[in-house]
């Protein structure tokens, strides 16, 4: 398929992914809030006799709402029953399609970094796919083990597992690809929780009621546990999905540890809101989250690696020649790098004016974080980086 149409299809899939993700995460946030905000009916009341475990009155958009939650199930099923599943399925399917378009089809540039590990594109894709499937299998086994009955300890073990996955991927793939595959692993766990546990359990409950049997309360308990897990995963996975904009995180020498600090911050901040829904304002949790993010800010502050001394005069013509050889294949109106139809991140470096205008960005990406060129596919040398750094520090002037 023509590269332009692949790029356009990628844009549409990204749009769909964002829309579906908003719907899924929004419903997750709402139902966790709802579940934590319900008031139990008075003993002996009509609601209690009906088996209602809690209810809530709310006003929104000019209307009054009265949602009720049954301890197990109502005495009779309503004629119309809404299932919350396609939000999750669409988010995962579109996200996986986007992963294929952006990373797997361009694995040589987007996933492989020879400075991390020498891999073929096919090996990199295989590692990425295995991380998604393997993460779900391991997580599901944990939840089904005796450990699954101890929520706090289970959560800690899952966190350690995500940390181990982050460490392994960061030592196998390029930083940006490592981060995104940690995110797709978590996203796969979340979607599989819905498809493999929550929805099947609800189907069994509905089938039991239609057959005149009492539903198995364990189905509801397992579904609730996985739903709560998904709720705690949301903030970390949202950060990971936008992390490719922030090179200071994924280009850090200890990027896996940086990621886990941010994941921990997301979890404790989410925990604050979950407790707040119950009327408990535990401010120590957002304070801890802010502290963890402050550590990340300090730890990821720029510390450029030393460069060799520059030999010879630093002229603009010399700078332009380096950029023309190492950067313009991706950063021109019509990139010549395979699979690219537009300048990456909208940055142009094909004219003298463009080079000067983007000099500070060039310095940040090529000298400070060194994430460019991607995987150093154009083989820029430290001597050439030193020339570019000296030119920017001297004022980035457009002189011969």
Q: What is the tens place of the pLDDT at every residue in 149-204?
A: 999 999 999 999 999 999 999 999 999 999 999 999 999 999 999 999 999 998 99
Q: Over the stretch 67-97, which tens digit does the pLDDT of each residue have?
A: 888 877 787 777 788 888 899 999 999 999 9
The share of the chain scoring above pLDDT 90, in percent, equals 44
The structure tokens listed for 329 are 């294949």
pLDDT bin (cut points 50, 70, 90) of residue 261 is very high
Note the pLDDT of residue 339: 63
Task: Return the residue matching tokens 């099923």.
Answer: 77
Helix (H) or strand (E) holding 64: strand 63-65
Mean predicted lDDT score pLDDT of the chain:
89
Give the residue-averaged pLDDT of 11-23: 92
Spatial distance between the Cα atoms of 165 and 11, rounded to a whole number of angstroms = 29
Which is nearest to 380 in space by CA: 83, 114, 54? 114
The structure tokens listed for 249 are 């995180």
Is residue 2 over pLDDT 70? no
Asked if residue 339 lies in contact with residue 6, where contact means CB atoms within 8 angstroms, the answer is yes
Spatial distance between the Cα atoms of 367 and 323, rounded to a whole number of angstroms = 13
pLDDT bin (cut points 50, 70, 90) of residue 295 is very high
Give the residue-averaged pLDDT of 240-266: 92
Give the residue-averaged pLDDT of 102-110: 88
User: 3-state class of 174 per DSSP?
Assistant: coil
Note the pLDDT of residue 20: 94
Asked if residue 87 lies in contact with residue 23, where contact means CB atoms within 8 angstroms, the answer is yes
Residue 395 CB coordination number (10 Å): 9
Give the residue-averaged pLDDT of 311-326: 86
Q: What are phi and psi of 52, to 5 degrees?
A: -75, 125
Is residue 314 over pLDDT 80? yes
Asked if residue 56 lies in contact with residue 37, where contact means CB atoms within 8 angstroms, the answer is yes
> Higher confidence at residue 226 or residue 114?
226
pTM above 0.85, yes or no: no
Spatial distance between the Cα atoms of 102 and 344, rounded to a whole number of angstroms = 12
Note the pLDDT of residue 44: 85
Domain range annotation of the chain: 87-299, 316-393
Note the pLDDT of residue 120: 94
Note the pLDDT of residue 180: 96
DSSP string, 202-256: HHHHHHHHHTT-PPPHHHHHHHHHHHHHHHHHHHHHHHHHHGGG-HHHHTSTTHH
Contacts of 287 (CB under 8 A, 6+ apart): none
> Higher confidence at residue 340 or residue 66?
66
Q: What share of the chain is helix, strand, coil (3-state, %, to 5)?
A: 65, 5, 30
Is residue 1 over pLDDT 60? no
Which is nearest to 261 in space by CA: 290, 232, 234? 290
Note the pLDDT of residue 3: 65
Task: Return the residue matching tokens 């011969």.
Answer: 400
Is residue 260 over pLDDT 70? yes
Spatial distance between the Cα atoms of 275 and 285, rounded to a whole number of angstroms = 10
Q: Over the stretch 346-394, which tens digit does the pLDDT of each residue have?
A: 788 888 888 888 888 888 888 888 878 877 778 888 888 888 888 888 8
The structure tokens listed for 369 are 């974080």
Note the pLDDT of residue 133: 97
Of these ranges, 25-34, 48-57, 256-265, 312-321, the one predicted with the greatest mean pLDDT is 256-265
Asked if residue 179 lies in contact with residue 244, where contact means CB atoms within 8 angstroms, the answer is yes
DSSP 333: S
Which is nearest to 249 in space by CA: 237, 238, 233, 260? 260
Spatial distance between the Cα atoms of 142 and 367, rounded to a whole number of angstroms = 43
């Amino acid at each position: 398929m023509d590269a332009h149409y692949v790029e356009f299809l990628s844009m549409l899939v990204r749009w769909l992914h964002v829309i579906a993700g908003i719907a899924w995460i929004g419903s997750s946030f709402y139902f966790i809030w709802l579940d934590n905000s319900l008031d139990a009916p008075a003993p002996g009341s009509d609601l209690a006799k009906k088996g209602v475990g809690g209810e809530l009155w709310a006003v929104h958009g000019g209307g009054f709402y009265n949602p009720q939650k049954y301890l197990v199930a109502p005495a009779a099923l309503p004629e119309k029953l809404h299932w919350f599943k396609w939000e999750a399925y669409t988010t995962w399917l579109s996200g996986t399609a986007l992963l294929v378009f952006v990373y797997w089809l361009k694995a040589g540039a987007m996933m492989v970094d020879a400075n991390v590990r020498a891999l073929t594109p096919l090996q990199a894709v295989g590692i990425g796919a295995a991380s998604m499937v393997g993460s779900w299998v391991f997580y599901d086994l944990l939840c089904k083990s005796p450990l699954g009955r101890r929520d706090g300890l289970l959560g800690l073990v899952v966190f350690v597992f995500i940390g181990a996955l982050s460490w392994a991927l960061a030592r196998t793939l390029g930083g940006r690809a490592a981060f995104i595959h940690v995110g797709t692993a978590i996203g796969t766990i979340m979607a599989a929780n819905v498809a493999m546990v929550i929805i099947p359990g609800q189907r069994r409950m509905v089938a039991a009621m239609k057959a005149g049997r009492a539903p198995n309360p364990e189905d509801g308990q397992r579904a609730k546990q996985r739903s709560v897990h998904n709720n705690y995963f949301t903030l970390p996975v949202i950060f990971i999905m936008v992390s490719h904009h922030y090179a200071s995180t994924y280009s850090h020498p200890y990027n896996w540890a940086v990621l886990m600090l941010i994941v921990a911050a997301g979890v404790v901040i989410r925990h604050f809101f979950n407790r707040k829904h119950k009327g408990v304002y535990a401010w120590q949790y957002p304070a801890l989250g802010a502290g963890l993010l402050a550590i990340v800010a300090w730890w990821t502050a720029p510390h450029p690696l030393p460069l060799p001394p520059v030999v010879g005069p630093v002229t603009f013509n010399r700078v332009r020649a380096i950029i023309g050889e190492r950067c313009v294949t991706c950063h021109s109106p019509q990139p010549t790098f395979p699979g690219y139809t537009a300048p990456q991140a909208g940055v142009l470096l094909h004219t003298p004016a463009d080079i000067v205008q983007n000099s500070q960005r060039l310095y940040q990406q090529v000298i400070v974080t060194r994430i460019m060129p991607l995987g150093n596919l154009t083989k820029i040398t430290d001597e050439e980086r030193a020339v570019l750094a000296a030119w920017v520090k001297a004022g980035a002037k457009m002189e011969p």
